[in-house]
A and B are shown apart, each in its own frame.
Chain A
Amino acid sequence: MTSPTTEDLQAITEQVWLSYLDPEGVAPFLPSEETPSLPHVIAAVSVTGAWEGHVVMSFSESASQMAASALLGIEEDEVSRDDIADAVGELVNVIGGNVKSLLPDGSLLSLPHVATIDEGVNKWPAAVEVCRLQGSWQNEPIAISVWTSKSTG
């Protein structure tokens, strides 16, 4: 079965940044080896049906604050936890929706889930990672990954 690739994630991410986070084209998402360390904010949507898996974004806390600030048009120090959840949840929803358009018909997208991981681990026990894009936005790390069910992948 065809699965999304890192190049697909890169194309989708570029569009999302140009539309919402970097409309002037001055602060793009820059792919690199950097990955968010703990604590970080996780936003995920699941795909069920013809294809099963997860689309997951992780942000450094500062990156999640900057995203909420940029999307809501408010100062970073005015951003609440709810604002962050809404902002990163919507980002993963848009990226997940675009990933879904690459998947077979009959796949369904869930509503987003957002969590802050302070310590320990975050697991997707029934899934394997199929592609990952990681890098930084204004020097803050962000990673986007796609996971598929071990049984359908």
Chain B
Amino acid sequence: MKILIADDSRVMRQIVTRTLRQAGFGGHELVEAADGRQAHDMTISEKPDLVLSDWNMPEMTGIEVLRALRAGGVDVPFGFVTSEGTDEMRQMAEQAGALFLITKPFTADNFTDVLGPILG
């Protein structure tokens, strides 16, 4: 499967990549986007099977990316990996069609629990 990691921080993209590997998902193809606009455009051009997106990003926020994708008829499985996990944001994420919201800091166990059912 192909996974798109969207985060404006190279450090965080690296940590997500490492954590995916530690959680046993190292065999999947990974592509990276460095801001929200890129995340949106690459979701359309790269056709990933899963998008892992930060919330706060330049150009477009993660929630704007998700809403734009859904409005454009793109139904890709989409989840947030974000430093903020308020009930308000979880609700917004769910309403927009996100499958999950993983809060930073996260561990490999968090990834296994949440992504296991999706990535198999």
What CA separation (Å) do A56 and B45 show in the bound complex?
38
Q: How far is the CB of B81 from chain A (nearest CB, A)?
A: 11
Q: Is the interface of B mostly helix, strand, loop or mixed?
A: loop
Q: Per-residue 0/1 for A80-118: is the Cβ within 8 Å of any B Cβ (1 yes, 0 no)?
A: 000100110110011111101100011001010000000
Any chain B CB within 8 A of the CB of A72? yes
Residues of chain B contacted by A90 (CB below 8 angstroms): 9, 11-12
- Which of B8, B18, B86, B105 sits near A94, CB closer than 8 Å? B105
Q: How far is the CB of A106 from chain B (nearest CB, A)?
A: 8
- Once A71-B14, A90-B11 are accepted as A-B contacts, the answer to whether A101 and B84 lie under 8 Å apart by CB is yes
Indicate if the CB atoms of A71 and B107 lie closer than 8 Å: no
Indicate if the CB atoms of A109 and B105 lie closer than 8 Å: no
Q: How far is the CB of A98 from chain B (nearest CB, A)?
A: 7
Residues of chain A contacted by B87 (CB below 8 angstroms): 105
For B, the interface residue count at a CB cutoff of 8 angstroms equals 22
Q: Per-residue 0/1 for A1-37: is the Cβ within 8 Å of any B Cβ (1 yes, 0 no)?
A: 0000000000000011011100000000000000000
B33-58 contacts to A (CB < 8 Å): 56, 58
Indicate if the CB atoms of B56 and A111 lie closer than 8 Å: yes
B97-118 contacts to A (CB < 8 Å): 103-107
Residues of chain A contacted by B88 (CB below 8 angstroms): 105-106
What CA separation (Å) do A71 and B15 show in the bound complex?
7
Q: How far is the CB of A114 from chain B (nearest CB, A)?
A: 11
Residues of chain B contacted by A133 (CB below 8 angstroms): none
Indicate if the CB atoms of B105 and A100 lie closer than 8 Å: no
Residues of chain A contacted by B103 (CB below 8 angstroms): 97-98, 101
Residues of chain B contacted by A120 (CB below 8 angstroms): none
Indicate if the CB atoms of A15 and B105 lie closer than 8 Å: yes
Chain A interfacial positions (CB closer than 8 Å to B):
15-16, 18-20, 68, 71-73, 83, 86-87, 89-90, 93-98, 100-101, 105-106, 109, 111
- Complex A-B: 19 CB contacts under 8 Å: A20-B15, A68-B11, A72-B10, A72-B14, A73-B18, A83-B10, A86-B11, A89-B9, A90-B9, A94-B104, A96-B83, A97-B103, A97-B104, A101-B84, A101-B86, A105-B86, A105-B87, A109-B56, A111-B58
5 closest cross-chain pairs (CB), A and B: A97-B83, A19-B105, A97-B84, A90-B9, A94-B83
